[in-house]
Structure 1
Amino acid sequence: MKINWNYIKTFLLIGVVFFLFAFAEKRNHNRVLSEVNLHFTNSENLYLTEEAVNKLLIQNEVKVSSIGKETLDLNRVETLLEAHDMIENAEVFMTVDGKMGAAITQRKPLARVMGRAPYYMDRNGLKMPLSQYYSARVPIVTGVSEDLLPEVHPLVSYIRNDEFLTKHVTELNRLSNGKYVIRLRQLDFVVLFGAVSEIETKFMNFKAFYQKAMKDKKLNAYKKVDLQFGDQVVCTKK
């Protein structure tokens, strides 16, 4: 009987192809996450580190070196990350080669609130703990308890969104009558801002006063500048 080697070769080739396909499928199924690629979307200042994020995942039994990609709950990881005091938002994803990635947006502090236990107020007006990794250069707020953060937030937010005010304002102090006093960098006078109202008008008036006083070289001639009288700026000389 004559053996048809062409048929045998064909069957062997088909068998090898099926074996390789099955092997690759099994390997892909068992592939584990070998590393976490972190990206901080606002990474100019790091209030937490990659090491801190990885530690958080490990503590919550998200062992990326031993979890198959089919069993990893990305939503759970996002929830864990967003529960961190320094994280505002997290988007977790997994690449085709079995690596987990996370785009992390940190919370952004606007001011440091002083008290028995100092803390930050973030850009959403919420309490944010200080970081062990970085100290933010933000204005100091005194005389404010946590329940008053919604009151002071519009004022601080306006300051932080204005280049001129960000450069000059160093401290805001809330008096017992609910009015605010503002202190400036390298200037002797204080600014009586009053209640948190008419913010834009008051600061426009202050900028106009500042430019005029600087032009006249009289910035150091005053000890108090009062912005509480509508369109007027009332100054008290030394």
Structure 2
Amino acid sequence: MKSSRSILFLLINTFLFVMCLYVSHIRHNSKNDLNLQILYLEKPLILNDSVVNKLLTQNLSGKLLLKKDDLDLNILENQMKSIPEVENVEFYIDLEKNLFLSITERKPLFKVESSPPYFSDSNGILFKYKSLDSSGIPSFKTSSSTLSLGTTAEFIKNLKADVFLNNELETIFLKNNKYEIKLKSYDFKIIFGRPTSVRKKIKKLKVFCAYTNIRDSANIYTKINLSYDNQIVASTS
């Protein structure tokens, strides 16, 4: 009888000891838990809290554990910066154990018409296309499969720096290393040529567009070529 009581007493004490360890572990983890708050430096077009949390889970090895003792902010930042949709990030923790993720989204400058389609930013970096109100985002088309987009991105950025073209630019084509562009409000084809003397060519284009606005006879032209110095070559075929 005494032996049975001793065993029961030992089991109860063991159970209580294990429970104390478990509660202590839970409390310790609770103290180290961090609340993640996501801050966007500008209003995002593609990212949101749900997408960012999903990207964190996908791009970090294993489950993301927001524990103060285990967290390496440099690793988190480097992992997040490797995500194409993210241009820049910064992690920091305040005194109240809040983990802040300050994030700058990569801005789409133009859409690359490919299969599947992509967005490109002003540096020619591609990231996943998402359907959105892209009325201000022109499309880029080319037959080249090995093209580096850096030059094209710089060219489109220079075009969109002009207020008129920022509103009118619809499509950019690259054929044999020469650019053609299509505007929203004008039907004629525009041969831009190589991406040189961009400001001069834009000025000539705006003069021709203004001319077609006041002269109905100018609407017979189906193509203009801006690649010649100090002149615009317009043709009807």
When the two structures are superposed, what TM-score results if normalisation uses the length of structure 2?
A: 0.77
* Aligned equivalent of 1:20: none
> What does 1:156-171 align with in structure 2 at a 5 Å threshold?
156-171=156-171
> What does 1:1-238 align with in structure 2 at a 5 Å threshold?
31-45=31-45, 47-59=46-58, 60=60, 61-64=63-66, 67=67, 69-131=68-130, 134=132, 136-137=134-135, 138-143=137-142, 144-175=144-175, 177-217=176-216, 220-237=219-236
1:121 Cα offset (Å): 1.6
Distance, in Å, in 1 between the alignment partners of 2:111 and 2:57 is 31
Q: Alpha carbons of 1:199 and 1:29: their partners in 2 closer, same or farther (altered >3 Å)? A: same
Contact 2:124/2:148 (8 A) holds in 1: no
Contact 1:88/1:107 (8 A) holds in 2: yes
Contact 1:180/1:194 (8 A) holds in 2: yes
Q: Alpha carbons of 1:200 and 1:209: their partners in 2 closer, same or farther (altered >3 Å)? A: same
Contact 1:109/1:136 (8 A) holds in 2: no
When the two structures are superposed, what TM-score results if normalisation uses the length of structure 1?
A: 0.77
Contact 2:32/2:69 (8 A) holds in 1: no
Percent identical across equivalent pairs? 26
1:172 Cα offset (Å): 0.9
Task: Provide the aligned C-alpha RMSD in A.
Answer: 2.4
For structure 2, the residue ranges without an aligned partner over 5 or more in a row are 1-26
Distance, in Å, in 1 between the alignment partners of 2:99 and 2:229 is 56
Structure 2 residue identity aligned to 1:39: L
Structure 1 residue identity aligned to 2:108: P
1:115-172 Cα offsets, whole Å, 9 max, x none, are 232212211112222136x464411111143533123122111123222112111001
Q: Secondary structure, in 3 states, of the residue corresponding to 2:124?
A: coil
Q: How many residues align?
A: 206
Distance, in Å, in 2 between the alignment partners of 1:168 and 1:218 is 22
Contact 2:159/2:198 (8 A) holds in 1: no
Distance, in Å, in 1 between the alignment partners of 2:182 and 2:134 is 18
Q: Alpha carbons of 1:32 and 1:146: their partners in 2 closer, same or farther (altered >3 Å)? A: farther
